[in-house]
Amino acid sequence: MNGATGQLPDDLASALALLADERARRITAEAEAATAKAEAASAKALVSHSEALIARLKLEIEKVRRELYGSRSERKARLLEQMELQLEELEADAGEDELAAEIAAKASTVRAFERKRPSRKPFPEHLPRERVHIAAPTNCPCCGSARLSKLGEDITETLEVIPRQWKVIQTVREKFSCRECEKITQSPAPFHVTPRGFAGPNLLAMILFEKFAQHQPLNRQSERYGREGIDLSLSTLADQVGVCAAALKPIHSLIEAHVLAAERLHGDDTTVPILAKGKTDTGRIWTYVRDDRPFGGQSPPAALYYASRDRRQEHPEHHLKTFTGILQADAYSGYNPLFKVDRDPDPLRQALCWAHSRRKFFVLADIATNAKRGSRAMPISPMALEAVKRIDALFDIEREINGLAADERLDRRRVDSLSLVKELEDWMRTERAKLSRSSPVAEAIDYMLKRWDGFTSFLEDGRICLTNNAAERALRGFALGRKSWLFAGSDRGADRAAFMATLIMSAKLNDIDPQAWLADVLTRIADIPVKRLEKLLPWNWQSAKFTPNAERPHKFETSGCHSETRNHKIFIPAG
C-alpha cells in the first residue's frame, strides 16, 4: 500500500495528467474490445449466412434433380422436408446473428455485416393497401428556407395481418298483426345447425377444419378463443362438432356412393390409437380413393374413410360389399376374400403396388443411408441395386403415359413395358436360384414372384396404376395428426374423424378450400331439397353462384292468414 502511494505524484497537475492518461488508455482498451466483439459478431453472422446459403443451394439442387429425373426413392420426399426444416433453422440463426453484428458494430468502427438476401417478390395485387403518410418537412434542413417543391415520393410496403375479428349478428324478426283476422305474422327464425344454436356457419366450419384438417384438438381451440376474449368451453365445442357431423351425413352418403361406384379404387390403412380401459388399442383408419385422372377419366376424385378398433379382414369385406371392380392395394391378406371366385356379387380384380415391392429392394441398396451409418453400415447388395434399376425403368414409362386414355396407356405398355417385365421375371427367377432361403434379397424376390399375377395386372388393363400412392397420400394427414391428438377418445370419435376426413379430403382432391366449402354447405343444406343436394358436392360446388343469406327472402309464418313474401332480415351491430 505504501509502495503504491509512493508512486503517485505530489502536485495536482501531475495527478490530473496521470488520471487523463489512464482514462485514455481505458477508452482505447474498450474500443479495441468493442472492435474485437464486432468483428467476432460479423464473423459469426458470416458463418451463419454461409451455412444457410449452402443449405438453400443443396435444397434447390435436390428439387431440380427431382424435377429432371423424378423421385428416385420413397425417402426423397422426406429428405426434402428435413432439408427445408434445416434451412428454416439456419435462416433464423443467420437473422439473429446479423442483428447481433449490427448492434455490436454500432459500438465500434467496424462495418456491420450485411447479409445478401434473395430478391423479394411483390405482394399480391388483391391485398388491400392502407396508405400511411409521413409528414413532409416544412423547411429546408440546409438553409432553413420554406420554399420547398415536391419531386415525388418513395413508397415502402410492409406486409401486416389483421387479428381475427369476432362479431355478433342480430337478426331482427318483425311481427305484424292482420287487421282483418287479427292473426300475428312473423318471419321464421334463422336456421342454425345446432338446435337453439348460437354459432354461425363460418365459425362451425373453422372449428371443424382446425380439428380434423389442422389437427388442433378442441381443448387447444378453446384456450386460444379464450385468449381472444371469447368463452367457448370444451363441452360446447364438442357439442357443435357432433351436431355438424349429423347435419352433414347426407353429403357424406353421396360421396360414399360416388366412391363405391368407381371402376377402380386405391385401398390402404394406417394405425390410429383408440382409447381403452387403462391403455390404447391399435385401431385402424381405412381409406378408399377414387381417382380416374391417371387414365384420363372424367369422374371427379374423392376419398372415403372408415375406422375400426382392429385390422380383421371382416372390415374391408364390409366396406366394399357393394363394390365390383379393380382394387389397388398392398398384399394384406385381409383383402384376399374379396378376390375369391365365389364372391357375391362378383370377385374384385387385384392390382398390387410396385412401390411396395421396390421399397424392399431399395432398403438393401440405399447407399446414402449406409454412408450415414459408418462402420455399422450393411454391405450394399448389387442384386438389390439391379432390381431397383429395372423397376425404375418401368416407372419412367409410367410418368410419360400418365393422364392418357386407358387404351393409349395399354398400347404403350404392351410395346415398352411388357418386355421389361418379362426380362425382370426371368432375371429374378435366375438370381433366386442362387440365393439361400435366409437371404434378405430372396425375401424381396419371393414377395413379388409369389404374387406375380397381381403385379402384372397393369399390363392387361390401362386403368390400373403402377403404384398405390394415391391411397398413401390420403392417409398422410392421420400420420401427422397422431403427433397432435395422440389418440381417438372412443370408437365413435374415430368414426367421426373418418367421417370428416372423407369430406375434407374430397374437397382437397377437387382443389376446393375445405373450410369455405363447409361453411357454405352448413349455411344452405337445410334449404336445399334432397334431390338437389348433389349441387353441394365439392366437384359441383361454385360459391360465386350462390346467393348470400342476407339477400335471400324468407316466407312469413302465418297463423290462419296468408301473407306475401317479404325480406325482413336486418343486421344491427351490437351496441
pLDDT per residue as tens digits for the range 262-309? 999 999 999 888 887 777 888 999 999 999 999 988 899 999 999 999
Give the pLDDT band of residue 435 (cuts 50, 70, 90). confident
Does a structural domain hold residue 83?
Answer: yes
For the ranges 34-43, 156-165, 233-242, the lowest mean pLDDT is seen at 34-43
Instruction: Cell 342454425: give the residue.
Output: 192
Cβ distance 538 to 521 under 8 Å? no
Give the phi and the psi of residue 150 in degrees, each rounded to 5. -70, 130
Residue 208: per-residue pLDDT: 95
List residues bridging with 287 in a β-sheet. 268, 305
Does a structural domain hold residue 394?
Answer: yes
User: What value, to the nearest 5°, has the Cα angle with vertex 503 and ends 497 and 506?
Assistant: 125
Cell of 275: 382409447
**Exposed e or buried b for every residue in 393-430, given b needs 16+ CB within 10 A?**
ebbebbeebeebebeebbebbeeebeebbeebeeebee
Measure CA of the first residue to CA of the last residue in the chain; give whole Å: 80
Residue 394: per-residue pLDDT: 95
**pLDDT at residue 100 tops 50:** yes
Cβ distance 560 to 177 under 8 Å? no
CA 287 to each of CA 379, 473, 475, 528, 554: distance values in angstroms, whole numbers, following the listed order: 37, 10, 7, 29, 41
Coil/strand/helix, residue 403: coil
Cell of 289: 380413393
Residue 555: per-residue pLDDT: 37
Fill in the amino acid letter for 3. G
Does a structural domain hold residue 446?
Answer: yes
The pLDDT of 28-44, averaged and rounded, is 69
Instruction: Cell 439361400: give the residue.
Output: 436
The pLDDT of 178-196, averaged and rounded, is 82
Residues 6 or more apart whose Cβ sits within 8 Å of residue 504 = 209, 212, 213, 514, 518
**pLDDT at residue 172 tops 50:** yes
Residues 6 or more apart whose Cβ sits within 8 Å of residue 524 = 536, 546
Give the whole-angstrom CA distance, residue 430 versus residue 447.
15
Question: Which among 408, 365, 366, 405 is positioned nearest to 385, based on CA atoms?
Answer: 365
More confident residue, 111 or 574: 111
Does a structural domain hold residue 427?
Answer: yes
**pLDDT at residue 554 tops 70:** no
**pLDDT at residue 35 tops 80:** no
**pLDDT at residue 551 tops 80:** no
Does a structural domain hold residue 436?
Answer: yes
What strands lie across the sheet with 279-290, from one edge to the other? 302-308, 279-290, 264-276, 326-329, 349-352
Q: Write down which residue in 464, 498, 525 finishes a domain.
A: 464
Does a structural domain hold residue 95?
Answer: yes
**pLDDT at residue 118 tops 60:** no
Q: State the chain's mean pLDDT as an integer.
A: 80
More confident residue, 211 or 112: 211
Considering 139-153, 236-250, 301-315, 517-531, the range whose residues carry the highest mean pLDDT is 301-315
| Percent of the chain whose pLDDT exceeds 90 | 42
Does a structural domain hold residue 51?
Answer: yes
**pLDDT at residue 204 tops 90:** yes
Residue 488: per-residue pLDDT: 77
Considering 133-142, 160-169, 312-321, the range whose residues carry the highest mean pLDDT is 312-321
Cell of 372: 450415414
Instruction: Cell 462402420: give the residue.
Output: 375
Give the pLDDT band of residue 79 (cuts 50, 70, 90). low
pLDDT, one tens digit per residue, over 369-395 is 555 555 555 667 888 889 999 999 999
Fill in the amino acid letter for 423. E
For the ranges 221-225, 299-303, 311-315, 549-553, the lowest mean pLDDT is seen at 549-553
For the ranges 19-23, 131-135, 153-157, 497-501, the lowest mean pLDDT is seen at 19-23
Based on C-alpha coordinates, what's the Rg of the chain?
35
Question: Which among 115, 119, 75 is positioned nearest to 99, based on CA atoms?
Answer: 115
Query: Residue 455 is part of which domain span?
Result: 354-464
Does a structural domain hold residue 80?
Answer: yes
Residue 575: per-residue pLDDT: 33
Give the whole-angstrom CA distance, residue 477 versus residue 128.
33
pLDDT, one tens digit per residue, over 482-534 is 777 767 778 888 899 999 999 999 999 999 999 999 999 998 888 888 889 99
**pLDDT at residue 64 tops 60:** no
More confident residue, 551 or 535: 535
Give the pLDDT band of residue 85 (cuts 50, 70, 90). low
**pLDDT at residue 170 tops 80:** yes
Residue 472: per-residue pLDDT: 92
Q: Please give the tally of structural domains in the chain.
A: 2
Q: Write down which residue in 430, 446, 464 finishes a domain.
A: 464
Residue 569: per-residue pLDDT: 35
Give the whole-angstrom CA distance, residue 561 versus residue 264.
57
CA 281 to each of CA 87, 308, 309, 332, 495: distance values in angstroms, whole numbers, following the listed order: 38, 10, 7, 20, 15
Residue 206: per-residue pLDDT: 95
Instruction: Cell 357431423: give the residue.
Output: 245
Give the whole-angstrom CA distance, residue 171 versus residue 217.
31
The DSSP secondary structure of 503-536, one letter per residue, reads: HHHHHHHTT--HHHHHHHHHHHTTTS-GGGGGGG
**pLDDT at residue 86 tops 60:** no
Q: Kindly report the length of the chain.
A: 575
Residue 25: per-residue pLDDT: 78
For the ranges 107-121, 416-430, 535-549, the lowest mean pLDDT is seen at 107-121
Q: Write down which residue in 464, 490, 523 finishes a domain.
A: 464
**pLDDT at residue 422 tops 90:** yes
Residue 8: per-residue pLDDT: 63
